[in-house]
Structure 1
């Protein structure tokens, strides 16, 4: 699942969590993840609120514990109990940013404003919500930097806060917002999930969520917008060449398919048929681009001796895919990854089976287990 964020008025940890909940993440899943940290004295809920003309979700964190400061290492250790790498990475990034700013090792950083319940709940909650939604890629529009000042334990600091700016290194940013538009927790989560900044990626939209902030703005809703989508299928026009054959051997048909694939056909296959007078036959199909259709037409007619064929223009839908590799018994096996699964390359498995003497089906299972 792809997540695209529009930080309309900014992005804070609680606004991001609220937007993910509004888009369909389970509040119970978030609570269970926070429970695993061992944090006590808190209660997390969500409510529907009106902000400007929009109805959005706002998260409420009630704290019954006076502890507002903690060593960063304590928060990181608590996050490690959840099994959420994004939460650990976000808190580690905060510790490193604060350490660099104050000239102390990250392991010795003591968090003041960021050491309380809110920071841990927001970051662990966002990581849990992302996992619950099945998000694998995060994209974000340019972030509004904000302006003004913020009062901290270290005194009055400019907005954006120095820690926020450190966490936003590499991000696309813009002006045009008053006050603290992006918080360190929001920036840390985006940093931890390797957010890509820019326009919305091509995707099939599945859900939308609006996360409300605590401030009321006079002229606009105070929201972060979350959009969830599946990878968009690529659509393009292709040609199918077909011909009926009742006097061509299976060896010739196999040869033509191999030649067509080698010449650039997207696919080639044969289906059985019964022709007039009950004669058994085969239908040869070759799927190709418009550019290669002429050359492949000549190949089919020349090799099969057919007196003609049919050309049909079709729309091809192709889901995004990529190829990775695994090492198996000293050889490299290519793995074809798609949105819904992964499959070892048959030719590589066949070569490995021939050299090792192991059954092909066992090697296929081992390749999947090696991922």
Structure 2
């Protein structure tokens, strides 16, 4: 099993909201505190307490500070995060802080390590970033998926004055993220949250099929009149990839026409081959030729080999045992010009089904590449 965390930023996302939601979902607070203590940070305490808001009980993370250091240079925070003994936690925390430093450095024309972090340089930022990394590690999360982030309008007040929402640093950190507009005003996604999503490699595609586990609710400090201000995390276990031994059958051909080769590939697929393909090669005496390949289960290999022998007239077929790691995949359907196009999604990539896109292209007169692009960009829910 592989543990997955799905983040649903109902009203937005901040570092403290994500930390509180992970603790609410079962991350041990002791592990979070221990990781933060490794940094050498002094004069702080972290409490994660139940909060009832609009009929929903979640948790709120609060950092209490007893020393006067309210801001630091980025290099100081990075050095502190690097002291965390668990290297996986340290790597995520350092990556998040470096992302903030690089963005702030570009915005202010300074070297990343030397840039002075104001709102982001206090205790809260280090506690939230190290805490989230430690919570994910304690929960053994191996993949994070995030739903579309709601982006608020209006302004946010910073040490540099009033800036538009999202703040410039947040906008830069969210490059490539999936976002959506919201009726909420003000800052709905913080730079800390954006940097954490970047550092943990959050995927914004459809969440994978998984066996549902615990759910956690992280409550923000802002009070909304008509809804709970929460971020939600759902934990689940994904079935492992289908790993099995298969057989590759192949034969060299220099006297079979292209028409026959195309027919044989289709025939082998219809006969039970998992895949079939052709590779152009130069054979002995400089003759052009092709290698016909077929991928089959061990049980189907004999029948596939007989087909290859009969249809091509070849004098021999080679066999190689290979191990295939088949990743989990799922399919959804979107509408393009009122017609359905299926899309296949794996853990790292998705694409429209070619045959469906061809049907739409033929019936609408649109170029096939346009149909494929429209289907890939569609945000229609399943």
TM-score where L is the length of structure 1: 0.64
2:210 match = 203
Q: Counterparts in 2 of 1:18-97, with a 5 A limit?
A: 18-82=20-84, 83=87, 84-97=90-103
Name the SS for the 1:205 alignment partner: strand
2:191 match = 184
Preserved contact between residue 43 and residue 62 of structure 1 (Cα < 8 Å): yes
The offset of 1:266, in angstroms, is 3.5
C-alpha spacing 1:263/1:146, structure 2 compared with 1 (3 Å): closer
CA distance in 2 between counterparts of 1:41 and 1:198 reads 40
The offset of 1:234, in angstroms, is 7.9
Name the SS for the 2:6 alignment partner: strand
C-alpha spacing 1:234/1:30, structure 2 compared with 1 (3 Å): closer
CA distance in 2 between counterparts of 1:225 and 1:37 reads 28
Name the SS for the 1:95 alignment partner: helix
CA distance in 2 between counterparts of 1:175 and 1:86 reads 28
Preserved contact between residue 167 and residue 188 of structure 1 (Cα < 8 Å): yes
Name the SS for the 1:123 alignment partner: helix
Name the SS for the 1:104 alignment partner: coil
Give the superposed CA RMSD.
2.5
Q: Counterparts in 2 of 1:290-329, with a 5 A limit?
A: 295=303, 320=327
Unpaired segments ≥5 residues, structure 1: 236-259, 268-285, 300-317, 322-371
CA distance in 2 between counterparts of 1:201 and 1:178 reads 31
1:350 match = none
1:175 match = 181
Q: Counterparts in 2 of 1:265-280, with a 5 A limit?
A: 266=297
Deviation sequence 1:138-191 (CA, Å, 0-9, x none): 110111111211111111111111111111011011111322100011111001
CA distance in 1 between counterparts of 2:297 and 2:58 reads 47
CA distance in 1 between counterparts of 2:206 and 2:185 reads 23
Deviation sequence 1:278-319 (CA, Å, 0-9, x none): xxxxxxxx5x6xxx99x48x99xxxxxxxxxxxxxxxxxx98
1:247 match = none
Match status 1:143 vs 2:149: yes
Deviation sequence 1:327-356 (CA, Å, 0-9, x none): xxxxxxxxxxxxxxxxxxxxxxxxxxxxxx
The offset of 1:207, in angstroms, is 1.6
Please list every run of at least 4 consecutive aligned residues from structure 1 whose deviation after the TM superposition is greater than 4 angstroms: 260-265, 318-321
Name the SS for the 1:11 alignment partner: coil
The offset of 1:109, in angstroms, is 0.5
C-alpha spacing 1:263/1:181, structure 2 compared with 1 (3 Å): closer
The number of aligned residues is 256
Match status 1:13 vs 2:19: no
The offset of 1:137, in angstroms, is 1.1
CA distance in 2 between counterparts of 1:111 and 1:150 reads 16
Name the SS for the 2:185 alignment partner: coil
CA distance in 2 between counterparts of 1:152 and 1:14 reads 18
Which one of the candidate residues 131, 142, 148 is aligned to 2:137? 131
C-alpha spacing 1:88/1:165, structure 2 compared with 1 (3 Å): same
The offset of 1:198, in angstroms, is 2.9
CA distance in 1 between counterparts of 2:161 and 2:47 reads 32
Deviation sequence 1:18-51 (CA, Å, 0-9, x none): 1111111110000000000000000111111112
CA distance in 1 between counterparts of 2:126 and 2:103 reads 17
CA distance in 1 between counterparts of 2:25 and 2:76 reads 31
The offset of 1:264, in angstroms, is 5.8
CA distance in 2 between counterparts of 1:156 and 1:210 reads 30
